[in-house]
Structure 1
Amino acid sequence: SIHLKENQHPLAKRGKPGSFLLTKINDDTLSREYLEMMSSQILDVANTNDSSTVEISKTGASVIQHEDYRIAITHPPFSESFEITIVHPIIQLSLEDYAISEKLMERLSDRAEGIVISGAPGSGKSTLASGLANFYHNKGKIVKTFESPRDLQVEPGITQYSKLDGSFDNTADILLLVRPDYTVFDEVRRREDFRTFADLRLTGVGMVGVVHANSPLDAIQRFIGKIELGIIPNVLDTVVFVKDGQIQKVYDLELKVKVPSGMTESDLARPVIEIRNFDDNLLEHEIYTFGEENVIVPVGKKSKIGIEKLAEDKIRETFKKYDPRAQVEILSENRVKVLVDEQYIPSIIGRGGSNINELEKQLQIHVDVVKKDSEHYNLDSSDLPFSFSESKTALIFNVSKEYTAMHADIYVNDDYITSTRIGKKGQIKIPKRSDVGRNLTKLASSQNDIQLFLKDF
């Protein structure tokens, strides 16, 4: 970007998201007369050139979009002095240029229809939004954008809408008549923007919203109070946080009726929005009404100590006789859930339930025997040989190409880390900046600490 201000040296901001450097272009001091002449020429071109549009024109401020240059002109009485700022996109990226896991790519491609891209100014949100718009367009979807100014770098087949009669509400009325599959809203900021975003999503339009926020939780927080709490998971299903031009965190939202974490009485059950880390499905936060306030509460991993830890170990040892990788979850003082592989369930239950009844008498608790789901290790899976390498942004596991499109579990020193899909050419790519990538880097001191197991889906 170029920054030209009255009685100051011209400045340029160079670099990429996360590593910008402000430098002086030359030692000349810019006069008001020079900047007025320049702004007059810019406005003349904008009014006569088909590739230029005046996006905003108010007393003391104008915003012009000339091809892919966004030009903001401010002067008194709006600003204390004359200033011209010219912004040009650094780079145009496709989704393939990001370190996106196979799991997230499947989500964006097949399931996600209420996406929020959040991040600080200059973090690369709009670049990712442009890549996502082009991705859906290339999949044969009808894609539109809501922008003011219209500066997203998208394919010619994507129509870019601005405010109609000064309001995106009016634009939304027209949008529903053209039947889009996806709409990119850059950016959702004002209260009416949040309502328009929610209204379009609830009508069935796939929405991608760009929101300024310092964290993914802040992005979710901005929707609270603008729309009803209970419909937030229906409006947002995927929250992506961008930092330094890369996807750093992804959250998944789901509405449940339950007792909030940390509370014990069953009569305290209420609608709770669970915010889970998309990479490992770990519950990190909950949103619910407490008194008259809507609160976001962090959910820490409960540490088991004392008698509870001893009880869990005792129960686990009992069921390891049937499944060496049995997992135990204590539900209450007299009830536990045991997760085992499906093939061992008949032997645990026994004929007519005789064996499980005997085990319950022995342990003096009620036992729920549950088949392990896709997040847990499956004993039928086989140890996968692999080679390991790294790129600048990802940890790469290479297995035989015959396993392409199959699923694998990743363990470090026998501790489950994540489940993932084996991609093209037999590669598993784990973004270094993701929670899974950080866990692998932290827990594994060498390749020998890591195990891959092929899953039988």
Structure 2
Amino acid sequence: DELRKTEDFSVFADMRLAGIGMIGVIHANGVRDALQRFSDRVDFSVIPQIVNTIIFLDQGIITKIYDVSFTIKVPEGMAGEIHLRPVTTVSDHESGERVIDVFRYDGETIVMPVIAGQGIATAQPQIKAAPAPAPQVSPVASTPVAPRAPAVENNRGNEDRPGWRLAEKEVQREIGRYTEGFVDVQMVSDTKAIVYIDDKDVPAAIGKGGKNVSAIVNKLGIGIDIKPRSEFDRMQAVKPAADEEINLGGGIKIQTDKKQLTILAPSESGKIVDVFAGKEYLFTATVNEQGEIQLARNSSIAQEMIRRYTNNENIKLRPV
């Protein structure tokens, strides 16, 4: 009863993750305040494994029930400001409406209301964390699996994606702490970036055993692929000229002009496809009725495809 001290939260979290169906009681003015107390002591990404249901009581009467879940999305109200990232969501059990988003931003845990007025504020309410059903509780904290990267919209590069520009600046700032030369960041998807730095700076940026880059990935929620600048220079040297057509085999071709890179796949017309380089997933796109996927030639995705092709990697499409 009454989780108050940091060690109380730690013991409760350990018991829940061990599969013991405990009920914890927190005194707070509202569900947002209760979550804030949890997020200050427990990593927000495991909150749904510790508390999957919140029961709000006022003078001994149940007034609200909330479901807690984990997803990867752009937090509510932050579109165009930040990129796709892990989010813990709190929803009204009866209506299914999302009430609160919990996410990391600039190194801080943010507890943001989604719909004004949904949180109940009373003088001394209690929040009960109901136990999860036995099959849903794992003895150890499981790692959430990232969903498929979002489909690439035709003819759009990172030049008109504010979220990508902000993400690139964040990655550039964090990597720049370990480098002396310029840091060139190219977002490949909402959750992946390629970073080119001076060859001599690569070891420092990666760190011993990948410690530095892992810390940045965990902080920003973006996968980072660090490459020496010499590799970027080689890619630029062999970049196909404008108005060139490349036959990839299997009925798939790439056409380039001054503004666009177009993937020609008539057999996949009207389908949603995954694009792979070898065995590595690159992005998801919709093939239009003319059998084309159009990308801005200077976009990071188009440049990555060209680089993979020049490295003799097989570019292929797979219907979703």
- The TM-score range, normalised by the shorter chain, is 0.3 to 0.5
Larger C-alpha radius of gyration, 1 or 2?
1
Q: TM-score, normalised by structure 1?
A: 0.26
Larger relative contact order (Cα-Cα within 8 Å, sequence gap ≥ 6): 2
